[in-house]
Amino acid sequence: MTIGIGIDLGTTYSCVMHRTPDGTFDVIESRDGRPLTPSAVYFAPDGTALVGERAKEHLADDHENLVIGIKRQMGRDFPLEYFGNEYTPEGISGLILRGLSEDAGAHLSAESRDLAAVITVPAYFGVGEREATFTSARIAGLTCLELLPEPVAAAYAYGLADEPDRTSLVYDLGGGTFDVAVVGMYEGTPRVWAVDGDTQLGGLDWDRRVEDLLWQQLAQQDDADDLRYDDDVVGKVTSAAEILKRRLTTQSHVTERVFLTGRTLELRVSRAEFEAASTDLLLRSAETARRVMRSATDLGSPDIDQVLLVGGSTRMPMVRSLLEEQLTLPVRIADPDKAVARGAALLADELVTRSAAPASNASRFAEPRITSVLPRSLGVLTWSSADPVRDEPYVQHVLRANTPLPIVEAEHVVATIVDDQDRARIQIYEQAGTRESSAPADNRLLLEGEILGIPPGPAGSPIRLRLSASVDGRISVESMDGARPLRLEIEAFLHGVLDDEEVAAQRTAVAGLKVM
């Protein structure tokens, strides 16, 4: 029997939940007995891989073999080598997912192969990052039912589908990424109106501001220059910074005693110092929130009634204060560390139940489905042959940001440039900045390849490209002859995403490690 689980695969911490048959939610504790698992992997010299709290314990004594924050590298070419083996971000995330699924299997008395997961991703993750996350599940040997945007998962957890008269701004500040989404109703159906975010903003950045304050204090030591280049000292300062940041959530002044090079030092930080040092980060998030509100308004969204806080970093008092002051809206917070996992568990249970039900009963969810939107525009690199001719190629966007998902077969017509042309190069780009731009430099090359088997014909013969996006934002591309119902072959690859051979290599590397 398949068991559905929800996985919040976070940058700094991950959480797994399961919806029980009686409708309650069960937090699956880590092997260390904790509800949250650090998204950390430590590669030990003996060929084992520690995942979670036991991995993070090596931050102070061997941070060179510790990986934290790998989620920020998803969809990028970012190989790491440990003890002669190379690991990609997908492989390291696969180790984290393997550890989480093994904990879930032990908790639910099930084999990992019997588990099926909904895995959350930042709403502002592009196609490459989403494909990389899906690949991580393949490497871990875990069935991924769907990739669910984190604000949508939070919307499920907050019960927004049952609040037809409210429109909410979901403000999700996690350990390494930041998402905002406007969620409300449209013609009686809950939906996301607009999303925005910053995949390089999160609690880790606030940690670094505390580190800067600590290094300012250490600069008063006679051997300050030596301390900066001592790996043991660097690890202890990094570890102390996170501890102090968490304590500043409830205290105005905090002190941490750190043993460094034969002496004990007291490092002190006040909340006022911390807030002053990180004001720019907070303002950066607020500007993104205002931008998504403007986008939602342009798309016809009703007025926003409330702000919902999601993600452990929203526990910082400065977050709530700033949002109440700048947005003048009521702010709600409820178990922000687990809200995303709870929403994912709810959807996982619905998907498993629907797949097991007779076809006559599987046409709708017991819970209203909240549909998301495409986070970034997608376009085709185009050379102009029409007046006025453009000397340089440009990106002609076909799928627009904030279009509701799924998107079925948006069509774009291109043409051959010489007689009897039998193949054509295709390049698909994804919006890289906060605004749509036709300049290739303002976009990220996503897919590259060739259309093959074009029938003979004069220059200018049409070719139809069909771009689709699934409910979880993964894309597919088809090509058709412009004059007849003939499907053309495309040989292409996604940049930043492993091919089948590379996936197999990572599965072998990960399978060869004993995860503890």
Domain residue limits, the chain: 1-158+334-371+497-516, 170-333, 378-485
Confidence of residue 132 (pLDDT cuts 50, 70, 90): very high
Please report the pLDDT score of residue 389 as a whole number.
Answer: 67
Please report the pLDDT score of residue 387 as a whole number.
Answer: 61
Confidence of residue 199 (pLDDT cuts 50, 70, 90): confident
Non-local CB neighbours of 488 within 8 Å, separated by 6+ positions: 451, 452, 453, 454, 463, 479, 480, 481
Residue 486 confidence (pLDDT) above 90: no
* Dihedral of the alpha carbons of 295, 198, 472, 28, in degrees to the nearest 10: -130
Residue 266 near residue 221 (C-beta atoms within 8 A): no
**CATH number for the domain running over 1-158+334-371+497-516:** 3.30.420.40
Non-local CB neighbours of 111 within 8 Å, separated by 6+ positions: 105
Class level of CATH domain 378-485: mainly beta
Mean pLDDT over residues 129-137, rounded? Answer: 95
Q: How would you class 499 by CB atoms within 10 Å of its CB: exposed for 0-12, middle for 13-18, buried for 19 or more?
A: exposed
Residue 198 near residue 129 (C-beta atoms within 8 A): no
Mean pLDDT over residues 292-311, rounded? Answer: 94
**Strand-pair category, 40-43 with 37-38:** unpaired
Give which of 100, 40, 91 is closest to 239, Cα–Cα.
40
Residue 98 near residue 113 (C-beta atoms within 8 A): no
**Strand-pair category, 423-431 with 378-382:** antiparallel
Non-local CB neighbours of 463 within 8 Å, separated by 6+ positions: 413, 414, 415, 416, 424, 451, 454, 479, 480, 481, 482, 488
Please report the pLDDT score of residue 364 as a whole number.
Answer: 47
How does the average pLDDT of the chain come out, rounded? 90
Confidence of residue 386 (pLDDT cuts 50, 70, 90): low
Whether 378-485 and 1-158+334-371+497-516 are alike in CATH topology: the answer is no
Q: How would you class 51 by CB atoms within 10 Å of its CB: exposed for 0-12, middle for 13-18, buried for 19 or more?
A: buried
Which secondary-structure segment (H or E) carries 333? strand 331-333
Please report the pLDDT score of residue 361 as a whole number.
Answer: 53
Mean pLDDT over residues 418-441, rounded? Answer: 92
Homologous superfamily in CATH for domain 170-333:
ATPase, nucleotide binding domain (3.30.420.40)
**Strand-pair category, 80-82 with 85-87:** antiparallel
Mean pLDDT over residues 354-359, rounded? Answer: 72
User: pLDDT: is 196 or 385 the higher one?
Assistant: 196
CA–CA distance from 345 to each of 15, 164, 190 (Å)?
10, 22, 18
Tens of pLDDT, residues 202-216? 999 999 999 999 999
- In angstroms, the CA 281 to CA 284 distance is 5
Residue 266 near residue 218 (C-beta atoms within 8 A): no
Residues of the chain above pLDDT 90, percent: 65
Please report the pLDDT score of residue 385 as a whole number.
Answer: 66
Give which of 283, 247, 253 is closest to 271, Cα–Cα.
253
